[in-house]
Amino acid sequence: MIKVEFEGTDGAGKTTGLKYFIERARQRGLTVVETREVGNPHLPSCMKMREFVLDPTNNLSGESMELIFSAMRIESDIWLKKLAKSGNAPDLVVSDRGFFSHLAYGLHNTSEEFVNGLFVDLMAKQTSLPDVVVYFSVDTQTALKRRVKRGEAMDVIEQKGVEYQERVRDAFEDYLSDSDVETYDIDANRELENVKAQLDSVLEDLISCL
C-alpha cells in the first residue's frame, strides 16, 4: 500500500488533479481509497472537527486550530494503520492534503516554535508520513483566479488573503526540499491537459513500485 499525499496552496488545482489521478489509477486496475487530512470522510468525528475549526464565526486562535488539526491527524492515522493491516488494503491511499500542509499553513497560522514542537517533534513521531507527495506548484495570480472562479464562500484559512497564501507556498517548498519523502513537482500553471499528462507520468512510476 502506497500512501500518496496531494499538496499545494488553495487554488493550485490539486483537488481536481487528485480526482483525475484516482480515476486513472482505477482505470489501470488499481484499488484506491480516497481520503482527506482535515476532515477524513471515513470518520464522522473528523468531519465534525473540520466543520468546527474552519467556521470563521468561531474565531479560534491559531494555536487552538492547530491542536484540533493534530487531533484529526491522530484519528486518521489510527484509521490508516488499521486499513494497512486489514485483508483488503488498497494499492493506493490518496489524501487531499497531509503532514506538509500542517507545517506550511501552521507556520503562518502560529509560529515556527509552535509548529516545530507540535508537528515536527510530536506528530512526525506519533503518526505516519506519506510515502509520496505530489506537490502542485502555482503562481499567485493563477491560484487567485481559480479560487475566484470556484465561487464558493471562503473558509477561515482562505480569508487570510493572497500574501498569506504566498508565504504558505514558500513554506511548502522549503519543508519539502528538506524532507526525505519522495516528491513529484507538478507545474500547475499549465493547462489542465498538460497537468493530467504530468499526473499520468507519476502514476506510471508508482505502478512500477507495486
Please report which confidence band the pLDDT of residue 154 belongs to, taking 50, 70 and 90 as the band edges. Answer: low
Please report which confidence band the pLDDT of residue 143 belongs to, taking 50, 70 and 90 as the band edges. Answer: confident
> Which pLDDT does position 202 carry in this prediction?
98
Cβ-based neighbours of 52, under 8 Å, separated by 6 or more:
58, 68
pLDDT of 159 strictly over 80: no
- Residue 65 C-beta-side C-alpha neighbours within 13 Å: 24
Handedness of CA 143, 145, 151, 153 (dihedral sign): positive
Q: What angle do CA 166, 133, 19 make, to 5 degrees?
A: 90
What is the arithmetic mean of pLDDT over 35-62?
A: 95
Contact (CB, 8 A) for 33 and 125:
no
Nearest-angstrom CA–CA distance, 25 and 29: 7
Contact (CB, 8 A) for 38 and 104:
no
Please report which confidence band the pLDDT of residue 201 belongs to, taking 50, 70 and 90 as the band edges. Answer: very high
> Which pLDDT does position 164 carry in this prediction?
78
Contact (CB, 8 A) for 51 and 156:
no
pLDDT of 79 strictly over 60: yes
Q: Which residues pair with 133 in a beta bridge?
A: 5, 183
Topology of domain 2-163+172-207, CATH = Rossmann fold (3.40.50)
Please report which confidence band the pLDDT of residue 151 belongs to, taking 50, 70 and 90 as the band edges. Answer: low
> Which pLDDT does position 163 carry in this prediction?
77
Tell me the domain boundaries of the chain: 2-163+172-207
Q: Which of 120, 71, 76, 119 is nearest to 96 (CA)?
A: 76
The span from the first CA to the last CA of the chain, in angstroms, equals 8
Q: What is the pTM of this model?
A: 0.91
Q: What is the DSSP letter of 130?
A: P
Contact (CB, 8 A) for 56 and 103:
no
Please report which confidence band the pLDDT of residue 145 belongs to, taking 50, 70 and 90 as the band edges. Answer: confident
